[in-house]
Amino acid sequence: MSNNDPVLGQILAQLNSLQVSQQTLQAKLDALTGIPTSPPRNAIPIPGRQDSPTSQNPLLLSPTSLGRNPIVSSPPSGTRELTNIDKEREKALYPGRVLLTTYPDQHGIKPYPLQWGASEPATRGPVICSRLPSSIKQRNAIGAHSGSYSIYRALSIAMGTLSPFHKPDYSKTEPPVPIPPQPSWFNPSKIVSFDPWGHLVPQVFKREIEELGLDVRPSIAVTKAHIKLSEIDETARRGEITVDGRIVLRTRPLRNPDGTESDADPGVEITTSKAAVEPVWYLPGVAERFGISENLLRRALFEDTGGMYPELITRPDIKIFLPPIGNLTVYIFGNHEDMADESKELTLRVHDECNGSDVFGSDICTCKPYLVFAIEECVRCAQRGGVGVVVYFRKEGRALGEVTKYLVYNLRKRGGDTADKYFRATELIAGVKDMRFQALMPDVLHWLGIKKIDNMVSMSDMKYDAIVQSGIPILKRYDIPEHLIPPDSRVEIDAKIAAGYFTSGKKVTEVDLIKTVGRTWEETEH
Ligand SMILES: Nc1nc2c(ncn2[C@@H]2O[C@H](COP(=O)(O)OP(=O)(O)OP(=O)(O)O)[C@@H](O)[C@H]2O)c(=O)[nH]1
Ligand SMILES: [Zn+2]
């Protein structure tokens, strides 16, 4: 048959019209539901699948084009090449209309069943918030994984360095330390701010991931580590912490710059197990904790994130929200199984992030000394046969952020840094003195199976009240030892004590508050 064959011509014409009508139908369906029903035709293959080769994928920059990528190597000044690459990638990434929101009664939408607090993973169901074609119609969660890091993911996809279809391989990532189910996992109001099954997702939702092809992701990861802090080296040198070869190890000899073994004391390192926990909010439970209605909570979250999550309003049937906030980290010292064993002594510190002090050693507050002291107390408790737990929350500057915190510092230093004005300075700028709302904080303790706390290394009445009200008694509280308070942070400690923070000794009067003065602006420069 030649190309001019009339029969072949007819068949080709029919095939063409069939293809056109299939595409038209598909487009109509997508427009109707607002949801693409199949991956974009020019999308890259999911690794391990035999689709088109990655080299032809307009979603990703090839290794050679990466080097020349105007986005990476020079400002996006709108060159013709950039425009074309962008347009092509945008079309490939987002072939359908912009999907601004969804509605419960929309054609094709069927959230995957999820029953918060159910005791069997199969009944509880996986949290699905993926917008990949394989999962979008079955989403049962609003928002995106990874908290605030979801924005970096969006950037990577837009720049072509990450394929949105990348399928994670979770083999060999399972927890080396078990955090097994506890009765609290099966109570829908005990844990409402993260997914208690988050570290077991690849195991308990294997069927959904492998057989149903759903994009279900872990929101918790558990691992093991050694930690080394110069402050703890010093404590060990003073003989206040002993090397036991189990929790406290002697660090291997250091090396001199010429590679020979150094005679210097290498100090110690601490063995620990740790878990990183991303936020996954069960909205009815979160609303209940704060004593507000779910509707009000949804509306506030919608409005004050710049209208970022319209489904908070249009999808009352979806009860899960993955908020764009920081995660928490748990450090466990000693035997992890002892956390749930009431007969074992337990020491706890709950700490909120203070980058200035924790990492950079700023002396305006007591954060780092208190944190290090708490780790040492946890270690001592573990060495006595108990277990120690430190929970670190990314809630910088009392959840007001570092910018607000530095503005407060400036005001304090310019306005006369006395303890009586300490909280007022924050209020003047932020409108409140604290935005941490400790009501969600105890979730992590219930997740770990903690039922009572013997030693609480914190002076905070807010932390204390939240934990005790959640049903976990605290037997003893510690304040920070006097010798660990840097002079410039005396203002903070006295203001806290006056505001109701716990103190075992010092009582602070009105007169004391005026007398407790921090370093002046001028002194800061010397
Ligand atoms: N906004 C503001 N935040 C501050 C200031 N000083 C410290 N912070 C923040 O306060 C928080 C202190 O948290 P934590 O170390 O958990 O201490 P706490 O809740 O006050 O109570 P303790 O458990 O007794 O230490 C951190 O998030 C700091 O970044 C300040 O002057 N203004
Ligand atoms: Zn601090």
- Over residues 17-50, the pLDDT tens digits come to 544 454 554 455 455 445 554 444 334 333 333 3
What ipTM did this prediction achieve? 0.93
* Helices 490-498 and 422-430: angle between axes, nearest 10 degrees: 90
Is 501 part of any domain? Answer: yes
Does 298 qualify as catalytic in the annotation?
A: no
Atom in ligand 1 nearest the alpha carbon of residue 422: 31
Nearest Cα residue to atom 24 of ligand 1? 459
Domain presence at residue 95: no
Query: Domain end: 268, 296, 322, which one?
Result: 322
> Looking at the structure, do residues 310 and 395 belong to the same domain, yes or no?
no
Any domain includes 390? yes
CA of 471 to the centre of ligand 1 (A): 24
pTM of the model: 0.85
Same domain, 330 and 405: yes
pLDDT of residue 4: 56
If asked whether residues 407 and 290 sit together in one domain, one would say no
Q: Are residues 318 and 329 both part of a single domain? A: no
Q: Are residues 302 and 267 in the same domain?
A: no
Same domain, 232 and 140: no
Give the model's confidence band at 16: pLDDT under 50 very low, under 70 low, under 90 confident, else very high: low
Ligand sitting nearest the alpha carbon of 393: 1
Q: What confidence tens digit (pLDDT) does each residue in 427-457 have?
A: 999 999 889 889 999 999 999 999 999 999 9
Q: What local confidence, expressed as pLDDT, does residue 508 receive? A: 66
Q: How far apart are CA 241 and CA 232, in angstroms?
A: 8
Which one from 338, 352, 434, 479 is the annotated catalytic residue?
A: 434
Any domain includes 62: no
Confirm or reject: Cβ of 395 under 6 Å from ligand 1.
Answer: yes
Distance CA 217, CA 325 (A): 17
Instruction: Tell me: do 368 and 315 sit in the same domain.
Output: no
Mean pLDDT score, 73-84: 58
Atom 23, ligand 1: which residue's CA is nearest? 458
Report pLDDT for 305: 96
Task: Answer for the pair 197, 221: CB distance below 8 angstroms, yes or no.
Answer: no
- Based on the fold, state whether residues 131 and 214 are members of the same structural domain: yes
Which of these three, 268, 303, 322, is where a domain ends? 322
- For residues 425 and 408, membership in a common domain is answered with yes
Looking at residue 394, its pLDDT comes to 96
Indicate whether 232 and 260 sit together in one domain: yes
Sign of CA dihedral 101, 103, 104, 106: negative
Give domain status of residue 382, yes or no. Answer: yes
Q: Give tens-digit pLDDT for 383-393.
A: 999 999 999 99
Give me the number of domains the chain comprises. 2
Residues 398 and 449 both lie in one domain? yes
Helix segments in 346-475, DSSP class H: 355-358, 367-383, 396-399, 402-414, 422-430, 443-448, 461-469
Domain that holds residue 272: 224-278+325-524
**Domain annotation covers residue 63:** no
Q: Is 436 a catalytic residue?
A: yes
Instruction: Report how far ligand 2's centroid is from the alpha carbon of 354 (Å).
Output: 5
Phi-psi label, residue 351: left if phi above 0, alpha if psi -120 to 50, beta otherwise: beta
Identity at 328, one-letter amino acid code? L
Both 371 and 444 in one domain: the answer is yes
The response to whether residue 367 sits with its C-beta less than 6 Å from ligand 1 reads: yes
Exposed / middle / buried, residue 3 (Cβ in 10 Å: 0-12, 13-18, 19+): exposed
Q: Which atom of ligand 1 is nearest to the CA of 402?
A: 29
